[in-house]
Structure 1
């Protein structure tokens, strides 16, 4: 009985649906169930269930669904080859919506799909089939995030690509941070960089601190706490929910005017929350280690480093109110 008692289910009142999704995707759940349905004490239906539920990458890590993954990749390779010429030894590693900024006689964005292969980074559109831009990985000198205002005035993260010949181009992607990290991983695997290449690796803004954090969202009907993940790099603080396609909060050191802690009811065990003031907004965050976050932000704001050339407006992406818009879509296959 002692062993069974230790396995009784527990309930965390702070847990939300995004928490459940995060556990399912990152850790997984295994069900081993024998169920008997009875009517008037007469057993009528028996259910014998053995199931494992997890994210695909978690499944592959534990050796499950590898044949399905291999077959799917082969199918994708064959489908893409019908409109995108790739070599026999070239493997498609990732695909997502993207675009290329044409900066010649006509200055405009040309939409398509961003492909990362084992040899190239490509912007290609399917219909009509045309490769808008491409570069071999061993010709890339650096890749970095670039904040730009979109046509509607909203700040977007673009990708600035510098090549070894000194040329530059600007790309867009559904998940720019993910694409940059994937390209970096591929460059790290290059054994012998080209002699003319000034940098062997990407310039990437690595996180100084990451962790679970809650964001107080202000709605017309009131305020509500949303659970998500915060990341602090040398250039910005971001917060995003697992349900959002892009970061809900983005703040650079130049934008941050004041940091303070105040007592307020929140989903964590800490009594105080973190208040961040910018020129045009006040952002309220909560975390179990809010003191460490506060100290880290104080140092981050005062220690000089590689900063953006000009201050940007703090971005707090809108929600679902009439004045708001929903964030971009979910991740692509991989």
Structure 2
């Protein structure tokens, strides 16, 4: 950012700059009385919108703790927790109502405690679906196409007595893992670590999100498994990018600028979305993991985590492509 001086700038313009790009303040102030310096102020501060702060790796711990506290307070207020019941997690989601030939998704919030799983609608307040964890017999993710054609992962539950339920969740993989921790063994072997849920790479990624006014780099967390790649911003209710493994055609590293620095951009070629741009501070590790996934998928072998590699600021070629 270059300093500007414009008397026509309004408060709205200032707020827009702060939320979009942020500002760094360097202030040295001396307060004097009768030419005698009494008080010195030395200030270094960064001011920006929370999304910008998180994209640059700032205030993440505070944001996570604050969100966890808010979620816990919400659970106590909305769920009427039982004596000794502990809130574990909550996320946007819903329940598929199936009555004969009539089916309809009912949106709400999925609450998980150490005793039960509840899908709740706040306004008007209604418990859409509920089950004690002790009654859950099996959990498995199911992938289906949404009305717009995009792949969506749902969570199928089998409960005591032969009943089943289909839930949606902002992070279905996390919900499955948390249920498996609360009820060890309910997650099928086919989706356990060593199969589709094996993590090949995970960490901070920037995603160049397409927008009408031009693409925008956004920071978030990427997770690569043999099932595909998922990217989610901490400010989003659900992943903004979900690429199944069979949708990936290849990956290359290009010499472009990103929030991660020069030469940190990865380009993924896909069936459904064309070219997808990502950026990482450790692009070599992500490149190796993505290349192995596409090559193993092509040969029908199981993928294994790639070893951690140094940053691509050194000997990594400017462009590398896997077919």
Match of 1:99 among 94, 99, 104: 94
Match of 2:133 among 134, 137, 146: 137
- State the Cα deviation string for residues 211-255 of structure 1 (Å, max 9, x = none): 233333444554443333221112011223333333222212211
Does 2:62 align with 1:55? yes
Structure 1 stretches of at least 4 aligned residues deviating more than 6 Å after TM superposition: 16-20, 42-47, 197-202
5+ residue gaps, structure 1, are 1-15, 21-34, 48-52, 62-68, 308-334
1:298 corresponds to: 291
Distance 1:299 1:162, change over 3 A: farther
Q: Give distance in 1, aligned partners of 2:181 and 2:107.
A: 25
Q: Would the aligned equivalents of 2:91 and 2:109 in 1 still touch at CA under 8 Å?
A: yes
Q: Would the aligned equivalents of 2:86 and 2:114 in 1 still touch at CA under 8 Å?
A: yes
Alpha-carbon distance, 1:295 to partner: 2.0
Describe how 1:53-92 pairs up with structure 2 within 5 A.
55=62, 58=65, 77=76, 80-81=79-80, 87-92=82-87
Q: Would the aligned equivalents of 1:270 and 1:290 in 2 still touch at CA under 8 Å?
A: no
Corresponding residue pairs, total: 257
- State the Cα deviation string for residues 27-83 of structure 1 (Å, max 9, x = none): xxxxxxxx9855665789999xxxxx8627658x9xxxxxxx6xx9689536633xx
Q: Normalized against structure 1, the TM-score is what?
A: 0.59
5+ residue gaps, structure 2, are 1-17, 23-28, 42-58, 304-323
What secondary structure is seen at the aligned counterpart in 1 of 2:118? strand
Q: Normalized against structure 2, the TM-score is what?
A: 0.60
Distance 1:37 1:247, change over 3 A: farther
Q: Give distance in 1, aligned partners of 2:237 and 2:159.
A: 29
Q: Would the aligned equivalents of 1:140 and 1:164 in 2 still touch at CA under 8 Å?
A: yes
Q: Give distance in 1, aligned partners of 2:179 and 2:187.
A: 17
Does 2:247 align with 1:255? yes
